[in-house]
């Protein structure tokens, strides 16, 4: 039988936590799919699980189709994929999604995370990379737990339930289910998490029995009173048992007097308080990945998802209040912040010592790149080392995103994981080096024609029109197109990597007022701005659909000190006193390897998991005790910048080639792989799956980056990304410009 009567679910793309509106009718025609089912992988198909009495199609909308079912042979992994086109994200359509798969290993399925529907922890889930592009999503769940026998007669017709022999029945049957719209009280009792998922564990000893526990129709399948009404699981029992129809008040009226449970105090607002008498180890699988979903506090407690964090993480004993209260009680402590302060001071002293040694014993040589040029900030010649660095960092960035694909099985994928985040801040450093004369008229003209105009062309024409058609999506209606353009321009949603382009514009503009200060004052002001901005929700790429702030500004402000350091860095002086030799490269590789080993050690993983990447306002800092710990959280952000700057300087000064080569040519056009590689990765799933793990690390990212920076791709996309034609239309073209070049990485990969 289908596990629950339907609760309301609204299509959820950037409109989370929308309370369900009352439907005009009280009856639903539900489709209960039986047998082995799968869905075509085409992004143009939408699996329709349950319909209301009539299909609502808005003006200009497409008709929903659910024609991609096909039977699978017995023994095939039970799997179902549901797909949603971006164009449906804002439809005023109330659809009740529910289905059941008649197989003992696939009993319950919930689709679309939201306040009324969430994934249970005892599932395997994978989210398509296209989901983070804001275009469409694939959400796949496989449940691997055999259900219990129904404790009461099912709510659905026996004809739909099949023969009862355990063999999967075939076909699709329709049934009508009498449901009721949840009242405000029931909705409040239902709690914040999605509500159709059964508890994970068996009955807890000492929990109230089912006898006399409210409506007997509440209990069937995995839903038992012993599990759902147990107050040890929360102030309303197991929150995952309740939905808009089955509530704690309806099913467990006698639970409070039945005894045995551990209660959790509630605040005046009805929310569980921070301190609980019972603890739950929420992060047992802190390093384990289920598909591309990690059960770690950094993601699960991120309030950019919703006021209750990532609703994909919660179910049964695992609730936002319990897990995130514990998380911040442990991680907001002043001790970890003091450790970060000590390490930051140590890194600063180490670099001061290096500069003193070079000033005392170093001698000018030919390490700056030979014939290829002088300082990027002092004359108009380019340093080949910078273009080489841009290409190699682009390869690293592509590898970092490739490892996130469901098909990827990358060798040593940790090299491209959190440790590789320094590629983002190294690009910021390079951008600062190439933008020292940011306020001159020539530099501002270069900013307009080489950064702002291509950015607008990408957000208005390329991404919502040409690339959308190339991906196989239909064109958006005029209204949806206008909204998409607004989101692209003001919320940086054209790509998960587009934030860096917006950041580059901001840095170049902010550099003008800062240039009036002396060098040390500029750096101090940049650090202060970055520290204060970490406490404000101004937008990050972790949750692409969040509408906080504009331009994903948290990431731009977090990296501002790196841009200022690049403007102040005496790169020519450092390169001349650190000539490139095999010994130099070996020292650099050894330092990076030692840093990686420390990062991947158990102590290093635990420590780095407490260090924020681009601000911390999205974390539930209200649980920090004492309050001084939250006030000093900025020190951890300062350490993050210092650590990534150190790794970036080691790479740039000791490891990166300095002579002209084909890498230099590709590096000068890093904007192309920066913007286009997410689109290419969406198309390369079968290729990635067929590629050996070692080649996924070493070969495939290199090939993708080189191809996207090659001449044919530049000819095709050059009119949009390098609009020289527009500059020629407005004024006569001038010679090469100092400070007009830009570095275009693809950002953090989130």
What pLDDT sits at residue 246? 66
Compute the distance between CA of residue 81 and CA of residue 341 in angstroms, rounded to an integer: 47
Neighbours of 347 (CB within 10 A): 16
Is residue 516 a part of any domain in this protein?
yes
Residue 392 has pLDDT above 70, yes or no: yes
What pLDDT sits at residue 682? 81
647: tokens are: 């790794």
- Residue 517 domain boundaries: 334-730
Cβ contact 646:677 at 8 Å = no
What pLDDT sits at residue 621? 64
Length of the chain in terms of residues written: 750
Residue 722 has pLDDT above 80, yes or no: yes
Cβ contact 435:739 at 8 Å = yes
What pLDDT sits at residue 375? 42
Is residue 473 a part of any domain in this protein?
yes
Is residue 594 a part of any domain in this protein?
yes
Is residue 204 a part of any domain in this protein?
no
What pLDDT sits at residue 364? 59
Tell me the per-residue pLDDT of 623-665, one tens digit each, with 9 for 90 and over.
Answer: 666 666 778 889 999 999 999 999 999 999 999 999 999 999 9
Share of the chain above pLDDT 70, in %: 53
Q: In b/e form, how buried is each residue of 567-604, taking b as 16+ CB within 10 angstroms?
A: bebebbbbbbbbbbeeeeeeebeebbeebbeebbeeee
Residue 43 has pLDDT above 50, yes or no: no
Tell me the per-residue pLDDT of 440-474, one tens digit each, with 9 for 90 and over.
Answer: 888 888 899 889 999 999 999 998 998 888 877 78
Residue 124 has pLDDT above 60, yes or no: no
Could you tell me which of 207, 235, 206, 238 has the C-alpha nearest to residue 222? 238
* Cα–Cα distance list, 297 to 303, 313, 319, 527 (Å): 11, 9, 12, 27
Residue 111 has pLDDT above 50, yes or no: no
Cβ contact 203:222 at 8 Å = no
Cβ contact 386:574 at 8 Å = no
What pLDDT sits at residue 193? 31
What pLDDT sits at residue 294? 54
What pLDDT sits at residue 132? 30
What pLDDT sits at residue 517? 93
- Give the lowest-confidence range in 147-161, 355-369, 409-423: 147-161
Is residue 344 a part of any domain in this protein?
yes
* Cα–Cα distance list, 426 to 96, 562, 649, 706 (Å): 48, 8, 8, 20
Compute the distance between CA of residue 386 and CA of residue 379 in angstroms, rounded to an integer: 15
For residues 183-212, average pLDDT: 34
445: tokens are: 């003209």
Could you tell me which of 134, 255, 242 has the C-alpha nearest to residue 188? 242
428: tokens are: 């910021």
Cβ contact 72:38 at 8 Å = yes
Classify residue 137 by its DSSP letter: E
Q: Which residues fall within 8 angstroms of residue 400, CB to CB, at 6 or more apart?
A: 416, 417, 420, 423, 749
Compute the distance between CA of residue 131 and CA of residue 285 in angstroms, rounded to an integer: 24
Per-residue pLDDT band for 300 (boundaries 50, 70, 90) equals confident
Return left, alpha or beta for 548; rule: phi > 0 is left, psi -120 to 50 is alpha, else beta: beta
Q: First and final CA of the chain: distance in angstroms?
A: 39
For residues 227-254, average pLDDT: 71
Is residue 370 a part of any domain in this protein?
yes
For residues 3-21, average pLDDT: 27
Residue 121 has pLDDT above 50, yes or no: no
Cβ contact 50:31 at 8 Å = yes
Q: In b/e form, how buried is each residue of 35-70, taking b as 16+ CB within 10 angstroms?
A: bbbbbeeebebbbbbbbbeeeeeeeeeeebebebbe
Of 79 and 615, the one with more pLDDT: 615
Is residue 221 a part of any domain in this protein?
no
Half-sphere exposure of 465 (CA within 13 A, CB side): 11
Compute the distance between CA of residue 387 and CA of residue 663 in angstroms, rounded to an integer: 7
Structurally, the chain folds into a number of domains equal to: 1
Of 429 and 373, the one with more pLDDT: 429
Is residue 163 a part of any domain in this protein?
no
Could you tell me which of 54, 74, 72 has the C-alpha nearest to residue 63? 54
Per-residue pLDDT band for 311 (boundaries 50, 70, 90) equals low
Cβ contact 431:501 at 8 Å = no
Could you tell me which of 102, 750, 51, 60 has the C-alpha nearest to residue 403? 750
What pLDDT sits at residue 749? 37
* Cα–Cα distance list, 243 to 246, 249, 344 (Å): 5, 11, 49
Give rounded-to-5 percent helix, strand, coil for the chain.
Answer: 45, 5, 45
Neighbours of 732 (CB within 10 A): 6
Residue corresponding to tokens 């159709």: 196
Residue 5 has pLDDT above 70, yes or no: no
């Amino acid at each position: 039988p289908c596990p629950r009567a339907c609760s309301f679910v609204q299509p959820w793309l950037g409109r989370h936590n929308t309370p369900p509106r009352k439907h005009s009718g009280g009856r639903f025609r539900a489709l209960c799919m039986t047998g082995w089912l799968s869905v075509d992988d085409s992004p143009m198909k939408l699996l329709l699980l349950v319909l209301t009495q009539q299909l609502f199609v808005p003006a200009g909308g497409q008709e929903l189709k659910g024609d991609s079912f096909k039977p699978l042979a017995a023994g095939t992994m039970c799997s179902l994929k549901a797909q949603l086109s971006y164009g449906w994200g804002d439809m005023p359509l109330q659809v009740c999604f529910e289905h059941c798969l008649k197989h003992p290993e696939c009993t319950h399925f919930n689709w679309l995370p939201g306040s009324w529907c969430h994934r249970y922890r005892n599932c395997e889930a994978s989210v398509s990379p296209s989901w983070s592009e804001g275009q469409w999503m694939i959400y796949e769940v496989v449940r691997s737990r055999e259900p219990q026998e129904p404790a009461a007669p099912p709510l659905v017709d026996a004809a739909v339930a099949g023969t009862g022999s355990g063999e999967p029945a075939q076909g699709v049957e329709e049934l009508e289910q009498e449901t009721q719209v949840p009242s405000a009280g029931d909705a409040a009792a239902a709690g914040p998490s999605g509500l159709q998922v059964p508890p994970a564990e068996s009955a807890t000893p000492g929990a109230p029995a089912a006898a006399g526990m409210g409506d007997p129709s509440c209990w069937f399948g995995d839903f038992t009173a012993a599990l759902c009404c147990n107050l040890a699981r929360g102030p309303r029992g197991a929150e995952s048992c309740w939905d808009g129809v089955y509530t704690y008040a309806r099913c467990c009226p006698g639970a409070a007097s039945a005894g045995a449970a551990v209660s959790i105090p509630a605040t005046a607002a009805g929310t569980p308080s921070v301190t609980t008498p019972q603890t739950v180890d929420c992060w047992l699988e802190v390093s384990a990945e289920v598909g591309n979903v990690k059960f770690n506090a950094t993601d699960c407690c991120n309030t950019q998802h919703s006021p209750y964090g990532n609703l994909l993480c919660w179910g049964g004993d695992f609730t936002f209040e319990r897990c995130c209260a514990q998380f911040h009680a442990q991680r907001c402590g002043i001790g970890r912040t003091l450790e970060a302060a000590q390490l930051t001071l140590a890194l600063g002293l180490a670099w001061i010592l290096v500069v003193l040694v070079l000033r005392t014993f170093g001698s000018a040589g030919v390490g700056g790149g030979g014939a290829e040029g002088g300082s990027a900030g002092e004359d108009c010649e380019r340093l080949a080392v910078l273009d080489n660095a841009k290409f190699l960092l682009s390869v690293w960035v592509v590898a970092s995103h490739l490892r996130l694909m469901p098909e990827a099985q990358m060798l040593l994928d940790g090299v491209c994981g959190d440790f590789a985040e320094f590629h983002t801040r190294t690009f910021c450093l390079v951008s600062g080096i190439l933008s020292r004369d940011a306020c001159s008229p020539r530099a501002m003209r270069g900013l307009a024609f080489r950064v702002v105009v291509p950015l607008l062309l990408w957000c208005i024409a390329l991404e919502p029109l040409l690339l959308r058609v190339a991906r196989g999506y239909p064109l958006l209606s005029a209204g949806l197109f206008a909204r998409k353009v607004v989101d692209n321009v003001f919320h940086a949603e054209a790509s998960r990597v587009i934030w860096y382009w917006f950041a580059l514009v901001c840095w170049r503009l902010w550099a003008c007022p800062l240039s009036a200060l002396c060098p040390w004052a500029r750096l101090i002001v940049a650090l202060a701005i970055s520290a204060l901005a970490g406490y404000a929700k101004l937008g990050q790429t972790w949750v692409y659909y969040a509408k906080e702030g504009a331009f994903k500004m948290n990431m731009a402000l977090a990296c501002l000190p790196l841009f200022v350091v690049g403007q102040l860095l005496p790169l020519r002086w450092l390169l001349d006193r650190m000539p490139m030799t095999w010994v130099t490269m070996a020292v650099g590789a050894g330092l990076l390897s030692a840093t990686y080993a420390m990062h991947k050690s158990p102590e290093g993983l635990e420590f780095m998991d407490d260090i924020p990447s681009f601000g911390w306002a999205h974390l539930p800092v209200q649980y920090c005790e004492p309050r001084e710990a939250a006030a000093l959280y900025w020190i951890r952000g300062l350490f993050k910048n210092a650590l990534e700057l150190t790794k970036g300087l080691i790479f740039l000064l000791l490891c990166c080639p300095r002579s002209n080569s084909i890498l230099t040519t590709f590096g000068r056009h890093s904007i192309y792989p920066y913007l286009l590689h997410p689109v290419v990765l969406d198309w390369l799933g079968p290729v990635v799956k067929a590629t050996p793990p070692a080649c996924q690390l070493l070969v495939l990212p290199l090939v993708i980056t080189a191809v996207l920076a090659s001449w044919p791709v530049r000819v095709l996309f050059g009119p949009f990304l390098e609009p020289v034609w527009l500059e020629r239309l407005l004024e006569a073209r001038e010679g090469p410009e100092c400070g007009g070049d830009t570095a275009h990485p693809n950002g953090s990969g989130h």
